[in-house]
Amino acid sequence: DAGVIQSPRHEVTEMGQEVTLRCKPISGHNSLFWYRQTMMRGLELLIYFNNNVPIDDSGMPEDRFSAKMPNASFSTLKIQPSEPRDSAVYFCASSPAGTGTSPLHFGNGTRLTVT
């Protein structure tokens, strides 16, 4: 099992640029989550999908953030335009079921720096 795969591992961009983060969940997992982690705010849930459908996006900070899951094996998190305060580690995670009883499997994360 390859685990959750995220790309890129590191992203450095200038303010105002578009950033796209990618995630491939573990095959067979029905739920996918995007988290953001900073020193000040810890791990924040941004959005999660169940069977490719967005269930709760209340954690998405602003309209500059959007996420899609066009199929069961791929998801993107896009920031447009990016701002320095978006600098953080963005984690994607998946779990096998959407019943509230399954733990999450995390990818290695994307470390985003916006200058």
Q: Which of 13, 20, 50, 52 binds another protein (CB under 8 A)?
A: 50
Nearer to another protein, 71 or 101 (CB): 101
Rg of the chain in Å (alpha carbons): 13
Q: Which of 14, 15, 17, 56 binds another protein (CB under 8 A)?
A: 56
Q: Classify strands 10-13 and 19-24 as parallel, antiparallel or unpaired.
A: unpaired
* Rounded-to-integer distance, Cα 20 and Cα 9, Å: 12
Nearer to another protein, 70 or 100 (CB): 100
Sign of CA dihedral 24, 28, 29, 31: positive
Residues contributing to the site for another protein (CB under 8 A):
31, 33, 35, 42-43, 45, 48, 50, 55-56, 91, 95, 97-109
